[in-house]
Amino acid sequence: MELQKKLDRILKRVEKPGRYIGGEVNSAKKDLISVKERMAFAFPDLYEIGMSYLGMQILYNAVNKEEVMYCERVFAPSPDMEKLMKEENLPLFTLETKTPLKEMNMVGFTLQYEMSYSTVLNMLSLSEIPLMSSDRGEEYPVIAAGGPCAFNPEPMADFIDLFLIGDGENLLPDVLKLHMKCREKGLSKKEFLEKASEMEGVYVPCFYEIQYNDDGTIKKLCKQNSKAPDVVIRNILPEIETADFPVKPVIPVVEAVHDRAVVETFRGCTRGCRFCQAGMIYRPVRERSTDNILNIAKAQIESTGNDELSLLSLSTSDYSHFRDLALELMDYCKKANVSLSLPSLRIDKFAFEVLDKIQEYKKSGLTYAPEAGTQRLRDVINKGVTDEDIYTSVEQAISLGWRHIKLYFMIGLPTETTEDLDGIAEIAKNIIEINKKYNGPKGGKFRLTVSVSNFVPKADTPFQWERQNTPEEFMEKHRYLESKLKIKGVTFNYHDSFTSVCEAVFARGDRRCGRALLAAHEKGCRLDGWTEHFYPDRWQNAFEESGINPDFYAFRERTEDEILPWQHIECGVSKAFLLAEREKAYSEKTTRDCRYGCAGCGINKRVKCMTEGIYG
Residues binding ligand SF4 (CB under 6 A)? 270, 283-284, 594, 598-601, 603-604, 609, 612
Nearer to other proteins, 25 or 32 (CB): 25
- Of the residues 59, 71, 90, 253, which one makes contact with other proteins according to CB under 8 A: 253
Q: Which stretch binds other proteins (CB under 8 A): 13-21, 99-107, 400-408, 571-579?
A: 13-21
Which CB, 528 or 612, lies closer to ligand SF4? 612
Interaction partner, residue 148 (ligand SF4, other proteins, none; CB < 5-8 Å by kind): none
Q: Is 222 in the site for other proteins (CB under 8 A)?
A: no
17 burial level (CB within 10 Å; 0-12, 13-18, 19+): middle
Task: Tell me if residue 308 falls in helix, strand or coil.
Answer: strand
Task: List CB contacts of 2: < 8 A, sequence separation 6 or more.
Answer: none
Give the per-residue contact string, 256-285, with other proteins (x = CB under 8 A; - = no).
Answer: ---x--------------------------
**For residue 108, what are the CA distances in angstroms to 101, 125, 193, 568?**
10, 15, 15, 22
Please tell me the distance from the alpha carbon of residue 308 to that of residue 182, in angstroms, as a whole number: 44
Residue 23 CB, nearest distance to other proteins (Å)?
A: 5
Contact status, residue 201 vs residue 232, Cβ threshold 8 Å: yes
603, interface contact from other proteins, ligand SF4, none, CB < 5-8 Å by kind: ligand SF4
Residue 270 near which of other proteins, ligand SF4, none (CB within 5-8 Å, type-dependent): ligand SF4
Going by C-alpha positions, the residue among 20, 79, 28 that lies closest to residue 50 is: 20
Minimum distance, C-beta of residue 21 to other proteins, in the bound complex (Å):
4
- Binding-site partner at residue 18 among ligand SF4, other proteins, none, CB < 5 to 8 Å by type: other proteins
Binding status of residue 331 toward other proteins by CB under 8 A: no
Q: Judged by CB under 8 A, does residue 32 bind other proteins?
A: no
Q: Give dist(CA 415, CA 586) in Å, integer.
A: 8
Point out which span in 8-16, 210-218, 261-269, 545-553 binds other proteins (CB under 8 A): 8-16
Outline where DSSP puts E strands in 265-421. 266-267, 286-287, 308-312, 339-341, 366-371, 404-411
Nearer to other proteins, 22 or 205 (CB): 22
- Burial class, 331, CB count within 10 angstroms (exposed 0-12 / middle 13-18 / buried 19+): exposed
- Tell which positions 171-190 bind other proteins, by CB under 8 A: none
- Binding status of residue 86 toward other proteins by CB under 8 A: no
Residue 50 in contact with other proteins, rule: CB under 8 A: no
Whether the link from the prior residue into 205 is cis, omega within 30° of 0, is no
Rounded to a whole number of angstroms, the minimum distance from the CB of residue 581 to ligand SF4 is: 10
CB atoms under 10 Å from CB of 601, counted, come to 24
Pairing of strands 366-371, 266-267: unpaired
251/598 with CB nearer ligand SF4: 598
* Pairing mode, strands 569-570 and 232-233: parallel
Contact flag: residue 243 with other proteins (CB under 8 A): no
284 binds, among other proteins, ligand SF4, none (CB under 5 to 8 A by kind): ligand SF4
Backbone angles phi, psi at 530, to 5 degrees: -100, 120
Smallest gap from Cβ 379 to other proteins, in A, equals 45
| Interface residue with other proteins, options 3, 23, 184, 331 (CB under 8 A) | 23
Find all residues with CB under 8 Å of 403, minimum gap 6, and list them: 362, 365, 444, 445, 446, 447
Choice between 78 and 317, CB closer to ligand SF4: 317
DSSP of 266-303? EE--SS--TT-SHHHHT-S-EEPPHHHHHHHHHHHHHH
Q: In angstroms, give the least distance from the CB of 604 to ligand SF4.
A: 4
CB of 456 to ligand SF4, least distance (A): 24
* Of the candidate residues 52, 99, 116, 306, the single one contacting other proteins (CB under 8 A): 306
Look at residue 253 and give the partner it binds from other proteins, ligand SF4, none, a contact being a CB closer than 5 to 8 Å depending on partner kind. Answer: other proteins
Applying CB under 8 A, which of residues 187, 254, 579, 614 lies at the interface with other proteins? 254
| Residue placing its CB nearer to other proteins in the complex, 255 or 551 | 255
Min dist CB 3 to other proteins, Å, is 11
3-state secondary structure of 146: strand
17 binds, among ligand SF4, other proteins, none (CB under 5 to 8 A by kind): other proteins
H helices of 70-188, where?
79-87, 117-126, 168-184
Backbone angles phi, psi at 177, to 5 degrees: -60, -45
Does residue 497 contact residue 455 with C-beta atoms inside 8 Å?
A: no
Considering only 199, 221, 243, 251, the residue that binds other proteins (CB under 8 A) is 251
Q: From 17-25, 174-182, 206-214, 541-549, give the range in contact with other proteins by CB under 8 A.
A: 17-25
Torsion, Cα 6 7 9 12, to 10 degrees, reads: 180
Give how many residues touch other proteins by CB under 8 A. 26
Rounded-to-integer distance, Cα 287 and Cα 264, Å: 9
What residue 8 binds from ligand SF4, other proteins, none (CB within 5 to 8 A, per partner kind)? other proteins
The interface with other proteins within residues 284-303 (CB under 8 A) comprises 302-303
Answer yes or no: are the C-beta atoms of 172 and 202 closer than 8 Å.
no
Question: Which of 64, 61, 60, 62 shows the shortest CA–CA distance to 35?
Answer: 64
- SS3 per-residue string spanning 229-252: CCCEECECCCCCCCCCCCCCCCCC
Q: Is 194 in the site for other proteins (CB under 8 A)?
A: no
User: In the complex, which residues of this chain contact other proteins (CB under 8 A)?
Assistant: 8-13, 16-18, 20-25, 251, 253-255, 259, 302-307
